[in-house]
Chain A
Amino acid sequence: MANIIEKILSRAAGKKEVIPGEIIEANIDCAMVNEITGHLTIKYFYELGAKEVWNRDRIVMVLDHTIPAASIEAAELHKIMREFAREQKIKYFYDVGRGGISHQIMIEKGHVKPGDVVVGADSHTCTYGAIGAFSTGIGSTEMTAVFMTGRLWFKVPKVMEIKVNGNFRKFVTPKDLFLKIAKILGVSGANYRGLEFKGPTIENMSIAGRMTICNMAIEVGAKAGIVGVDGKTLDYLKDRINEPFFIAKSDQDAEYERSLELYVDDLPPLVSCPDAVDNVKPVSEVEGVELDQVFIGSCTNGRMEDLRLAAEILKGNKVNERTRLLIIPASQEVFLDALREGLIETFLLSGAIVANPTCGACYGAHLGVLASGEVCLSTTNRNFIGRMGSTKSKVYLASPATAAASAIKGRITDPTTFRSD
């Protein structure tokens, strides 16, 4: 009668069972830092006089937030990370050009296994629930404790189950599903909770789609999003992991704090309007809003299936002259696959600019920073005031299909009714 999160946490804590609210200390299977959080962890590590990390094979260090370095300050952070990785002989250090956005490569390169407890000094660490791991974001100081001890305390969360039924219409995506969930729960509706996604729609969903919905669990406050392991998971991991792993599944009679049941057959494309992720409306209600920029990419929607969807719509079309389209594949691997499949050519011919994998555009640091008064439609995960640049700019969040159709029209456009002129 335990749910998947309770099973994973009880195993990591060496206990027979755990109950919601209980404080446990868990063994960490893998820990990830990027350069904007990792430099603090490294500083504290040295301040404490620590000599060696707890396990150099279980720490993944990634440069992704501002790559390649866009300023001397950013370059200094890269240097701190690089030197620490060398000194500590960290096995998995992804330098510029070697990896991409951390959350993509953590799964793509097989650093996360089903059943693992994974922490990352980045809030979107919750993405790895897509393959049945418990993963959550922590701060830099806690990460110092993990670097030193390989352990961390957790409060066992209450878990909400979200059952999803039905088939998406063409050009309606897992992103639209999550925006629907955000509308229902609100931005703090799952605070401190785990979210387990299940049901026929989830069973039919690719790992990429599951990553999108688990990635955005933090946007309703959740500690973790998770999907049970199934054939799709095992298929995806077949060539990526060659160690044994723990397959956790919720029991049939597992207990949940709350259950939500959704049907996607009639779900329209949705858009999250400024300035809150839960300010969600059907695209049809905001159609016509003029756009200065469209961005397709990020840990939320920068994978092959996202790029394929965008290319399907963009092929043979031109980006509207009032709009600029920025496309960023989530990793070097995705970039290469997109190149081989001809997607990059489609993007360039449409008038898009394609940049290297990085988080920069999503959080307003570099590549595509918005000026005052500008409006952007983005496939990312946050539209807080100033998130992508000026505090006088606006961000709408939507799927790659909505983004591509909107880029062609130069205004917010429903991809399900879109016709090129």
Chain B
Amino acid sequence: MKLIGKAVKYGDDINTDYIIPGKYMVLTDPVELAKHAMEGIDPSFIEKSKDSIIVAGKNFGCGSSREQAPISLKYSGTKAIVAKSFARIFYRNAINIGLPVLECEGLWDIVKDGDQLMLDLESGEIKNLTNNKSTQAQPLPDFILELIEIGGLLNKLRRMKV
């Protein structure tokens, strides 16, 4: 499974209040949530979110367990997130809703905002198509890859159901 998108870069410790501020927790429509994605730290994100790949530093998604955080990113058009590391609840939530997340130490330094990136989710290879540099993310374990390929945990539960 290969993905191509435009890099949008952030630093370390991007927390869930930055991704979707608490005051929007009353919204139930994912499309409405997406209009406020990253508003807590970067109100211009939604102008560049379509077909984006977020490239971030350490501990992306720390804070709350609100699944609205990865949901808002997914519906804003974000195709994947590559971070040096993720906070654990966000990591599980993203995978469960079918938003690919890759851990990669080396990408941040070889990417500028707006670069075209290509991710190979199976192998973990990441190519910067703008400057022809490439790096290797930690490949996803098979059971996580499977969840992402079928579109998340709900689809898995749907298939398991008798």
The verdict on A191 contacting B152 (CB below 8 Å), with A276-B13, A382-B17 known, is no
Query: B13: which A residues are within 8 A, CB to CB?
Result: 187-188, 276
Find residues 12-52 in chain A having any chain B CB closer than 8 Å to their own CB: 36-37, 39-40, 43-44, 47-50
Interchain CA distance A339-B67 in the complex, whole Å: 37
Instruction: Give complex CA distance A122, B93 in Å.
Output: 12
Assess whether B22 is in contact with A365, with CB atoms less than 8 Å apart: yes
Using A49-B161, A148-B157 as known contacts, say yes or no to A140 and B89 having CB atoms under 8 A apart.
no
Interface residue A192 (Cβ < 8 Å from any Cβ of B): yes
Closest Cβ–Cβ distance, residue A141 to chain B (whole Å): 4
Tell me whether B65 and A137 are in contact (CB under 8 A): yes
Q: Is A223 an interface residue (CB 8 A)?
A: yes
Q: Tell me the minimal C-beta distance from B115 to chain A in angstroms.
A: 26
Alpha-carbon separation in the docked complex, A50 to B58 (Å): 38
CB distance from A193 to the nearest CB of B (A): 9
Stretch at the interface among B24-32, B106-114, B118-126, B129-137: B24-32
Which residue in A120, A125, A364 is a CB contact (below 8 Å) of B21?
A364
B154 touches A47 (CB 8 A): yes
B-contacting residues, A68-95, CB 8 Å: 71, 73-74, 76-77
Q: Is the CB of B63 within 8 A of A365?
A: no
Is residue B97 within 8 Å, beta carbon to beta carbon, of the partner chain?
Answer: yes
Q: With A and B bound together, what is the CA distance between A387 and B23 in angstroms?
A: 9
- A76-B28, A221-B59 are contacts. A138–B22 as well, Cβ < 8 Å? no
A356 to chain B, nearest CB (A): 18
Task: Using CB atoms, name the residue of chain A closest to B14.
Answer: A384
B153 near A142 (CB under 8 angstroms)? yes
B17, B28, B88, B97: the one contacting A363 at CB < 8 Å is: B17
Q: Which of B23, B58, B154, B157 contacts A365 (CB 8 A)?
A: B23
Interface residues of A in 163-192 (CB under 8 A from B): 187-188, 191-192
Known A48-B154, A145-B153, A384-B17; further 10 A-B contacts with Cβ < 8 A:
A37-B65, A120-B65, A122-B64, A141-B154, A142-B153, A145-B157, A188-B13, A276-B13, A364-B21, A385-B18
- Top-6 shortest CB links A-B: A73-B26, A188-B59, A139-B93, A363-B22, A139-B67, A137-B65
Selected A-B contacts with CB under 8 Å, 15 pairs: A37-B66, A50-B161, A123-B63, A137-B89, A138-B65, A138-B89, A141-B152, A144-B153, A144-B157, A187-B62, A191-B88, A192-B88, A364-B22, A384-B15, A387-B22
B residues with CB within 8 A of A: 13, 15, 17-18, 21-23, 25-28, 40-41, 58-59, 62-68, 85, 87-89, 92-93, 96-97, 152-154, 157-158, 161
Q: Which residues of A approach B to under 8 Å, CB–CB?
A: 36-37, 39-40, 43-44, 47-50, 65-66, 71, 73-74, 76-77, 120-123, 125, 137-142, 144-145, 148, 187-188, 191-192, 218, 221, 223, 276, 363-365, 369, 382, 384-387, 391
